[in-house]
Chains A and B, each alone.
Chain A
Amino acid sequence: MMRTGAQILWEALRREGVEVVFGYPGGAIMPAYDALLDSPIRHVLVRHEQGASHMADGYARVSGKVGVAIATSGPGATNLVTGIATAMLDSVPLVCITGQVSSKFLGSDAFQETDITGVTLPITKHNYLVTRVDDIARTIREAFYVARSGRPGPVLVDITKDAQQATTVPVWSDEPVRMRGYRPELHASEGDLAQAAELIERAKRPVILAGHGVVKADADMLLRAFVDKTGIPVASTLLGLGGFPATHRLSLGMMGMHGEAWVNHAIQEADLLIAFGMRFDDRVTGKLETFAVNAKKIHCELDPAEINKNVRADVALIGDVKDTIEALLPLVSRRDHAPWLTWIAEHKGSAAVRDIQTMPHDGRLFAAHVMHDLWRITKGRALVVTDVGQHQMWEAQYYKHDHPKKLVTSGGLGTMGFALPAAIGAKLASPGDEVWVVAGDGGFQMTACELSTIAQENLKLNIAIINNGYLGMVRQWQQFFYDGRYSATPLRSPDFVKLAEAHGLAGLRVTSREQVESAVERARATSGTVLIDFRVEQEDAVYPMVPAGAALHDMIRRPSPIVETAEDE
């Protein structure tokens, strides 16, 4: 039966199992939007196309499926770019579909024409320009395959308007996709596995570094089995949080720039690092020349291009982390690293007294309090979507995630404005989850327009704005590294409570710690979306902090009178 390209597009998406897409119509994508009315796929109308790519991203991270964003040509397509780059750096599978001017106008600077395949070339895993109706079905199929296989990532499909309008008899294939130049299946060799196992058997001070790959590969249970057998403690990257239960006795916590002091010290002191699905990002290693100099490194990673990029691996196990752990598990013996764990525990003991939770309560509201209370009240079971900045680090430190895919955050690109739209996608991926948006007053305002989307889609979210009146993380850097010269960081915001109300949502304000619990409980008990404006301490800083480019053990610590007390003992 003859079908238009637009009809074929929706049918192709349906065949890929797509249930919801996020988008915004416009001239060059209008044929597709017309055909959408006859498709069972749900469309969420965003308020800005950046929101569409972030929503698709949040949806993909939580569901494990491919997220889909749709936009028109020109400005619609370029507005997707930040979300695509975000997904690229965090290896999130997206398919972004953009309308393009008709093929006869390509290259003529026609109205709303942008070379979006050129623009997105370095920030997509792959992209396509489709000018023929006969190529649409196959291209969509390939796009989904490329996006989700191997190291996942965003794929953009740019479809000209005439290809959407033209008609053909579509050919549907159920054969596995075969692409000549793309073979994503890689497996570690037996020799390398044996060598890794030998290093693990010999190690006296080993640490596992668990990254995003553990979460993405659904390797959390296997990692747990591996840890229970080998007795090796686990440090997590920001995106690895939840890949190993935070409350497990062998969980150290987060490593890196704002990692806990004992975690960074343990890494620096280790004689073996086993990296599972992480890429030794500069926020994790600090100064490379001084990073874990005494440790052998086993790098388990899907992407061969990551091996020896930042840190030289003694053994590289290339392949899906789940397969790798499964293969390693029978090769290692049951161990108990008691002396090493004791060493770490001693460092933990001395560091914990600097913790803000142990400071005497003086009536001030710290963001760390909010995160801690939120964790306690939600019993650590909420799905938290954070923005980027201080609140993101406090969340990572104080909200203890025991389960994977319960923290959604922009780690690699550090995209402010990510949280609100990503949470919309997350909620649609997992409607049964209690979703909390945690955002700063700065980042929230970058995509606050998506409050309308929440209202229109009747979604139940909980929004915690950690409002300190500053672009807090930049302010903190200015405090530490620019002599406290606050350039362009003081921030005036609208009345967030009224803003929520203007959108038909509920708003609450919290100014002291006593109010936190009741506000959080009220938000949870309300059927609609509730925004809470937490007015927190304005000039608090995230501790500890490894200054950019410093050694991992060179941390700025929270100044605290209690430290002296502890050391006096």
Chain B
Amino acid sequence: MMTRLRTYIMHVEDLPGVLNRVTSLFRRRGYNIDSLTVGRTEASGVSRMTIVMEADDDAARRVEANLYKLVNVLEVHDTTNRPCVTRELALIKVKADPTSRAHVLQLAEVFRARVIDVGPEALIFEITGARDKIDGLAGVLASYGIVEMVRTGTVAMLRSADVVEQEQPRTSAA
């Protein structure tokens, strides 16, 4: 069966150790997390995680079922087949001396990256977008020399009025 990148949105109780429980499950079952973000939500006491991992359909279903077995996990949604927007933020420090700076800035403009720091030897760009857009910018900047890069990992949200409901009754995961 084909594996592909999947994006899960999860609501979990905001308690110490919950992140550890979630990541421990992925480790134990042998699934590799591609990216994971976690932060507060509009509801108090509830954190939201976005997890991206590579899996085939069967593994994806089992991950979801296993996540539900964690007592602190409130909701799990595999958004892979639903209309949703995904964003990632990256900071990229790239070598740019006075001779190359103009070129670098031009390239960044195409990707709508913002310059947030200028130094004599390097620039720092901030870019927000879907993963492939960031990959694209990193790709073209590589030839100038990327000094360092940090990426936040993907966050995702369903489009329009489609929301990930909290605490809806769970049905069979089969």
Contact = CB atoms under 8 A, between A and B. Distances in A.
A304 B71 contact: no
A316 B66 contact: no
Contact of B28 (A122, A146, A181, A307): A122
A192 B172 CA distance: 11
A181 B172 contact: no
B62 interface: yes
Contacts of A309: 62
B81 interface: no
Interface stretch (B13-21, B116-124, B130-138, B148-156): B13-21
B62 A308 contact: yes
Contact of B172 (A122, A125, A183, A304): A304
Nearest to B69: A305
B172 A189 contact: yes
B74 A305 contact: no
Contacts of A182: 71
B20 A304 contact: no
Contacts of B61: 307-308
B9 to A, nearest CB: 15
A117 B71 CA distance: 14
Contact of A183 (B20, B58, B170, B174): B170
Contact of A146 (B21, B71, B172): B71
Contact of A305 (B12, B17, B28, B66): B66
A508 interface: no
A400 B71 CA distance: 39
Contact of A181 (B62, B65, B66, B73): B73
A415 to B, nearest CB: 19
Count class of interface residues, chain A: 20 to 34
Given A118-B20, A121-B24, A304 B173 contact: yes
B150 to A, nearest CB: 28
B10 to A, nearest CB: 10
B167 interface: yes
Contacts, number: 61
A304 B65 CA distance: 6
B167 A188 contact: no
Interface in B48-78: 58, 61-62, 65-66, 68-74
Interface in A13-49: none
Interface in A174-197: 179-183, 186, 188-189, 192
16 contacts: A117-B17, A121-B20, A122-B28, A125-B69, A181-B71, A181-B72, A183-B169, A186-B170, A304-B65, A304-B68, A305-B66, A308-B62, A309-B62, A313-B174, A316-B174, A318-B172
Interface of B: 12-13, 17, 20-21, 24, 28, 58, 61-62, 65-66, 68-74, 167, 169-174
Given A146-B71, A305-B68, 20 more contacts: A117-B17, A121-B21, A121-B24, A122-B24, A125-B69, A129-B17, A179-B71, A180-B74, A180-B167, A181-B74, A183-B170, A186-B172, A304-B68, A304-B172, A304-B173, A305-B62, A305-B65, A308-B61, A308-B62, A318-B172
